[in-house]
Amino acid sequence: MNISHRALLLLLTVLSSFGLNATNYYVSNSGSNSNTGLSLGAAFLTLQHAADLVIAGDTVFVEDGIYVGFDIRNVNGTATNPIVFIGTGNSVLINQSGPIRNDGINIENADYITIDNFIVNDMPGNGNGIRVVVSDNCIIRNCACDNNAERGIFTGFTDDILIEYNVCTNSIDEHGIYVSNSSDRPIIRFNECYGNNNTGIHMNGDLSAGGDGIISDALIYGNTIHDNNSSAGINMDGLQNPTVYNNLIYNNHFAQGIALFQQDGAIITNGAKIYNNTIIVPSDGRWGILVQNGANINTEIYNNIIINQHAWRGCIALNDTAMFTSDNNILNDKMSDNGDGSAISLAAWQALGLDTNSLLANPINSIFANPSSNDFNLLANSQAIDTGTNQVSTVVSYDINGNTRPMGIGYDIGAFEFSSTLSTNSEALISKGIVVYPNPTNGLLQTEIKNIDNITIYDITGRYIKSITPESTIDLSALSPGTYLLKIKSNEREFITKVVRN
């Protein structure tokens, strides 16, 4: 997580917590639980002491240091006044479990809780780094969870949970991120999961635990999932209408890239929209995308790069083609129409009416910038450029890096959109009939607009912020002071200029 983005999230988090009667508490290794906790100089010593006091609207600021974990139970924030726990530096480490369970952070029967910028490592026994159960509208953001006994982040019965910008690694027993038990509308985005003993991101409706056993309307996008050791990069058991896009999935061993199936869930996963992912399966992997019998219903697979280096397994495996569509992908010459069985050629697959506009993959080094170093950006002459379909446009409007899609005459295939015509020279903008007057002091950027199609704003590190409709005056007043990059698209060419918001 880059500093500029984290600072912006911190600002937004703090502003959102300024509700009526809200209290800011502070926790520090130099504090004392006999203090008031109302300033850094009067900080509490333990996280649990602060957790025992918070009510809706309160924020707990935690100084860098090493802490014992905590439980927060039976207390709710609200949509406008969440309860927030936030690390204020880069090394707020929890390396001992909380007082009740083996988890580092445990949220139970507590809605609208935000956990932001914690490191949670080495939980023992059956411990998770962060556990959230029977709690809705919670946010887990900017956390790093490593070497925990069970999982990095685990949730159950958690409607509308947001899990973003986390790094979950080296879980000893199971998964990096695990969302379970009838947790509807989860959003899992911009996380990295690697080195886990099982799946990178696992979702399981699990009917036996109660509820309807279905996870509905999940959004899984912008994640990087690699070097995990079983099952799949992304596992989906009992999901209804999940949307999975812009994920980079590579080098997961003994695993599918993406799996749609039923084991514990009440239904077989169906209605999946799988768009613009880059999936590289190693020689000891399984299928790129496994579609179990029944998971084909209303499932769409568009604009994916799927390259499988296994001896005979290939890109997509399914049993039934009914109500299933797949097209505009880049694929190996290995598919399956009999599940996890023998492979057929891409031509034979196309004869079934599938992937008629898809391309047989060229050598991997001609597609990606440097695949041997896990750089899967597209080369300038990659076959993926402009060969995708715009049928994904209602879902996919930018790539894994936040670049606008499409940049050329059509969508690029895979998680990355290629951009070759970028300039940071404002004179290049002027030569194209675009005049920018930078350094706005009032948040309004004056421009002379000619033939501009789109303007996208990024922070100085390149993190996507938003896209705007071109106007003669661009309102930047909602942005905090700092330096921003404006990517201006004009006549299918793109240029970048820097703007300082004072």
CATH number, domain at 452?
Answer: 2.60.40.3080
* The predicted structure's pLDDT at residue 467: 76
Residues comprising the chain, all counted:
502
Question: Which segment of 104-108, 281-285, 324-328, 428-432 scores lowest on mean pLDDT?
Answer: 428-432
| pLDDT of 442 higher than 70 | no
* The predicted structure's pLDDT at residue 261: 97
Q: How confident is the model at residue 409 (pLDDT cuts 50, 70, 90)?
A: confident
| pLDDT of 17 higher than 80 | no
Q: Do 337 and 449 reside in the same domain of the chain?
A: no
Percentages helix, strand, coil for the chain (3-state, rounded to 5) are 10, 35, 55
DSSP letters for 406-442: --SSSPPSSS----------HHHHHHTT-EEE---SS
Predicted TM-score of the model (pTM): 0.82
Number of domains the chain is built from: 3
Q: What is the mean pLDDT of residues 379-396?
A: 95
Torsion of CA 151, 156, 160, 164, to 10 degrees: 0
Would 437 be classed as within a structural domain? yes
Q: How confident is the model at residue 444 (pLDDT cuts 50, 70, 90)?
A: low
Q: Do 145 and 55 reside in the same domain of the chain?
A: yes
Q: How confident is the model at residue 346 (pLDDT cuts 50, 70, 90)?
A: very high
* The predicted structure's pLDDT at residue 430: 45
* The predicted structure's pLDDT at residue 423: 37
- CA angle at 466 for the pair 464 and 469, rounded to the nearest 5°: 140
Would 211 be classed as within a structural domain? no
Q: Do 4 and 148 reside in the same domain of the chain?
A: yes
* The predicted structure's pLDDT at residue 488: 73
Would 65 be classed as within a structural domain? yes
Cα distance between residue 136 and residue 2, in whole Å: 28
Model confidence pLDDT, tens digit, residues 464-482: 777 776 666 677 777 777 7
Would 221 be classed as within a structural domain? yes
| pLDDT of 333 higher than 60 | yes
Would 180 be classed as within a structural domain? no
* The predicted structure's pLDDT at residue 463: 64
Q: Which has more pLDDT, 463 or 18?
A: 463
Model confidence pLDDT, tens digit, residues 269-278: 999 999 999 9
DSSP letters for 243-260: EEES-EEE--TTEEEEEE
* The predicted structure's pLDDT at residue 1: 39
